[in-house]
């Protein structure tokens, strides 16, 4: 097991799209739900709409923390992930505001 575990990601590298698809779904689902509610002209409900925005913020925070602590090679977390999360957060703020 100790010989197989460090190299298992090399054997499953062709499945890279499955975690990417899951992360994409988790990050875009709240925005999709928000836009469907707005397109149907459903009035702002503080409980539901605040929950949608909170779900988005919590998902981004958890995903960012996990990625920051897992990606430690060459300071990628500090140099690339934090600015990317800032841009993604600003994009989500613009989507939810306008």
Residue 2 lies in a domain: no
CA distances from 31 to 18, 24, 51, 70, 76 (A): 21, 11, 12, 26, 27
Give this prediction's pTM. 0.64
Cα distance between residue 75 and residue 47, in whole Å = 39
Question: For the chain, what is the largest distance between any 2 Cα atoms, rounded to a whole number of angstroms?
Answer: 57
Q: Tell me which residue range forms the domain holding 87.
A: 20-38+45-97
Residue 7 lies in a domain: no
Cα distance between residue 94 and residue 76, in whole Å = 26
* Number of domains, the chain: 1
Residue 33 lies in a domain: yes
pLDDT in tens, the chain (98 residues): 456 556 666 676 777 788 788 888 888 888 888 889 989 999 988 899 899 889 888 988 888 888 788 776 777 777 888 888 888 888 888 888 87
């Amino acid at each position: 097991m100790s010989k197989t575990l460090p190299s298992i990601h090399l054997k499953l590298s062709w499945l890279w799209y499955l975690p990417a698809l899951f992360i994409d779904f988790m990050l875009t689902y709240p925005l999709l739900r928000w836009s469907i509610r707005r397109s149907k002209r459903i009035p702002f409900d503080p409980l539901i709409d605040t929950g949608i925005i909170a779900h988005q913020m919590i998902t981004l925070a958890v995903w960012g923390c996990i990625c920051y602590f897992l990606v430690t090679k060459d300071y990628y977390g500090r140099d690339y992930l934090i600015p990317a999360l800032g841009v993604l957060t600003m994009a989500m703020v613009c989507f939810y505001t306008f």
